[in-house]
A and B are shown apart, each in its own frame.
Chain A
């Protein structure tokens, strides 16, 4: 983002930007930056906290009046809890997932279908509230889960005749992650914080397990695009410790 600000200014557009990693902003010296102590992915702090979001926006816009730069200012406040109260550091899913199918743990299709049925009402609620925001794979959630389950069950098989199957695989994984997150955050009560939500997905769900199982298959796949996706776009760095389970 610092480079974007630098080049926009070089071409005549005044800029003021949010900084999420202060150390990098200090090093790059963009024209005007407001560092905020918020989680990566949440540059305006907290969902459904319009007053707070407005204060962050006012603070960044105020930098435009500075007579000289580069300017780096720190936003003084941490992000508040959401409208439903304190964010939870742990996630207790009120939905009981069925035990993995006894016939074979690798029966990924069955396990994902069971989880999908358990979470479907909550996802529907998220969709009603306009809080789903998934759908980059261009397929429904059932098809996305089937693609992933087949990939793992059949040692990396991707459907014949599919355009750009590697990208489809990656986008299916993204949609499944987003589907679970939307279903969980639609439930009543305090919302899980980002770390708790990620730990739950990767550590406790069948969908997380299928993505973990897919990871080494991606890394050794015949298709170089699948290998690249495995290396860079599959498993969050902070969740790699779950690989010991597979």
Chain B
């Protein structure tokens, strides 16, 4: 069990010191029932297929993760050293639950799994700086007919 109060004080102070103001407006998009939705994962864990360029600090670019990827072919080049990577090493689904998502699709609980998923490096940038990247991701997700994005931090 880990809650903020369980973290070392130095980590608590850092996390609570982040710029966390509400962004303007409260967009809230509706869609069809879950059983009809096409679902993609968008992660800020700095994942990408081995061989693709590593993420750098303050990197606001993205990497594409093909929907048929074998999770064992992914590496994590997230720029922060302040979180556990051993869970990811043992089982990628603890960070990037693609196998779980495929199971839900097979069971008919969701409509389908997207052809492409996306990874960002969730460190070093201010919230407003990710807007252009998110807009580009939204266009690509829409082109893949995705109508549900599961957002996974690390």
Task: Contact check, B81 vs A235: say whether CB atoms are below 8 A apart.
Answer: yes
Task: Contact check, B57 vs A9: say whether CB atoms are below 8 A apart.
Answer: no
**A234 proximal to B (CB < 8 A):** yes
Task: Contact check, A185 vs B90: say whether CB atoms are below 8 A apart.
Answer: yes
- Measured CB to CB, the closest approach of chain A to B149, in angstroms, equals 5
- Measured CB to CB, the closest approach of chain B to A189, in angstroms, equals 14
B-contacting 9-mer, from A34-42, A100-108, A111-119, A150-158: A34-42
Contact with A along B1-29 (1 / 0, CB 8 A): 11110011011001110101111011111
- Chain B residues in 8 Å Cβ range of A96: none
- Identify the 4 closest CB pairs spanning chains A and B, nearest first: A17-B151, A11-B138, A7-B134, A41-B84
User: Which residues of chain A from 20 to 65 have any CB-CB distance to chain B below 8 Å in the complex?
Assistant: 20-24, 27-31, 37-48, 50, 53-54, 56-58, 60-62, 64-65
CB within 8 A of A3: which of B127, B147, B150? Answer: B127
- Chain A residues in 8 Å Cβ range of B26: 29, 31, 69-70
In the complex with contacts A18-B151, A132-B89, A167-B56, A54-B138 CB distance below 8 A? no
Q: Could you tell me the distance between the alpha carbons of A132 and B153 in the complex, rounded to whole angstroms?
A: 21
Task: Contact check, A79 vs B1: say whether CB atoms are below 8 A apart.
Answer: yes
Q: Could you tell me the distance between the alpha carbons of A60 and B84 in the complex, rounded to whole angstroms?
A: 22
Q: Could you tell me the distance between the alpha carbons of A197 and B4 in the complex, rounded to whole angstroms?
A: 19
Q: Could you tell me the distance between the alpha carbons of A7 and B29 in the complex, rounded to whole angstroms?
A: 11
Chain A interface residues (CB < 8 Å from chain B) = 1-24, 27-31, 37-48, 50, 53-54, 56-58, 60-62, 64-65, 68-70, 78-79, 82, 126, 130-136, 167, 171, 174, 177-178, 181-182, 184-185, 191-192, 194, 197-198, 228-229, 232-238, 240
Name 28 interchain pairs, CB-CB below 8 A, sorted by A: A3-B128, A6-B23, A8-B151, A10-B27, A12-B138, A13-B147, A14-B31, A15-B148, A16-B150, A17-B152, A20-B153, A23-B16, A24-B20, A27-B20, A41-B84, A43-B95, A44-B100, A44-B152, A47-B90, A47-B91, A57-B104, A62-B34, A136-B77, A167-B54, A174-B77, A197-B86, A235-B81, A238-B8
Task: Contact check, A57 vs B101: say whether CB atoms are below 8 A apart.
Answer: yes
Task: Contact check, B139 vs A42: say whether CB atoms are below 8 A apart.
Answer: no
Q: How many residues of B contact A (CB 8 A)?
A: 86
**B130 proximal to A (CB < 8 A):** yes
Contact with A along B66-89 (1 / 0, CB 8 A): 000000101111011111111111
Residue of A3, A5, A38 most packed against chain B (CB within 10 A): A3
